[in-house]
Amino acid sequence: MAVLPILSEQTPWVLQDLLFRLKVRDVMTPDVITVRRSDRMRYAQALMKVHRITGVPVAEQGRLFGIVSMDDIITALERGTIDEPVEAHMTTQVVVLEADMPLSFGASYFEKYRFGRFPVLDRDGRLCGILTSRDISASLLIELYKEYCRLEAQIPTPTPRSAPSQTLSIRVRRYDFESAGRGAHEIKKALLARGIPAEIVRRAGIAAYEMEMNLVVHSVGGELSAHIEDGQIELIATDDGPGIEDVELAMQDGYSTASEWIRSLGFGAGMGLGNIRRVSDEFSITSAPGQGTKVRAIIRWQVPAGGTPTP
């Protein structure tokens, strides 16, 4: 389960503000995958496998009757009751959230109950969404990013300095979450040292970080390189991993082959390649099963004589 901020005297004020300002409805997933009471446990098991989830609400026409968890599935398999109706095995004492509650309630519920998800009810008591710890973490990151952009816009644009071309090479190891992000940080430092505007640095940082995390999560390790010269930065991530079977599918936002374990850590959202392409002026990816993957991105800026570089 992703680590969530818990309100205390040590919680940064910006997080406190977000947790109280945002409502559960702003963060929850509105499209809820459900089963009916008459459905078989085997069907619930299949839904969990296909959608990579570990729990399914039991609901009919918006009315919530219970929830089936992965523990319930495992118990049914062990007892040979996997083909019995969901109604005979679901948990009926369900802890729920209300859509109008401040998000702080959601965060505290995860800390208090240690569940993987909470059904969300509207004012009429009907099921209208589901909230996971991942929903909260992702939403807070987005809001913090917006706040960062707002503060960044108040910083005076630096004067660029011409410098010789520079190449950085970072070796990335599989599942090395402790070191993940250090390569992107070094690349951002190199750009800032040249006086490159924050907007360019941020775009390069996003691309480099997503490349680095893809190497950590999806490959057996690889190399992230950055070649910087006046006017552009070229980022390349290469690996000798399993490769991508369907590159076009992998480019779709939300598609991910990450395991449940990786997802529980807050990674594998299926946005990485799309994010890289969005912040790049030039993007390419080559991959094939068993042949590894190469992702290349170029971000450019113009430097008028005696002026400031522009995106």
Helix (H, G, I), strand (E, B) or coil at 195: coil
In one-letter notation, the amino acid at residue 179 is S
Residue 243 Cα to chain centre, angstroms: 21
Predicted pLDDT of residue 250: 76
- Kindly report which listed range (28-37, 84-93, 103-112, 256-265) carries the lowest average pLDDT score: 256-265
Predicted pLDDT of residue 112: 85
H or E segment and range at residue 201: helix 198-218
- The mean per-residue pLDDT over the stretch 305-310 comes to 51
Predicted pLDDT of residue 2: 46
Q: Which of 234, 235, 233, 231 is nearest to 160 (CA)?
A: 231
Query: In whole angstroms, how far apart are CA 228 and each of 169, 180, 200, 213, 273?
Result: 12, 21, 12, 21, 21
H or E segment and range at residue 238: strand 232-239
Predicted pLDDT of residue 1: 43
- The mean per-residue pLDDT over the stretch 270-285 comes to 87
In one-letter notation, the amino acid at residue 49 is K
Q: Greater confidence, 268 or 101?
A: 101
Residues contacting residue 12 through CB under 8 Å, at least 6 positions apart: none
Q: Greater confidence, 52 or 151?
A: 52
Does residue 44 register a pLDDT over 90? Answer: yes
Query: In whole angstroms, how far apart are CA 181 and each of 73, 191, 206, 299?
Result: 37, 16, 10, 19
Query: In whole angstroms, how far apart are CA 113 and each of 48, 109, 119, 152?
Result: 21, 6, 13, 38
H or E segment and range at residue 167: strand 166-173
Helix (H, G, I), strand (E, B) or coil at 259: coil
- Most trustworthy range by pLDDT among 87-101, 148-162, 211-225: 87-101
Q: What structural domains and CATH numbers belong to the chain? A: 13-138 (3.10.580.10), 158-300 (3.30.565.10)
Does residue 159 register a pLDDT over 80? Answer: no
H or E segment and range at residue 236: strand 232-239
Return the structure tokens found at 128.
């209208």
Q: Which of 81, 85, 70 is nearest to 35 (CA)?
A: 85
| Ramachandran angles phi, psi of 297, nearest 5° | -140, 140
Whole-prediction pTM: 0.53
What's the whole-number average pLDDT of the chain? 84
Give pLDDT tens digits for 168-210.
999 988 888 778 788 999 999 999 888 888 889 989 999 999 9
- Most trustworthy range by pLDDT among 11-15, 44-48, 155-159, 162-166: 44-48
Does residue 3 register a pLDDT over 50? Answer: no
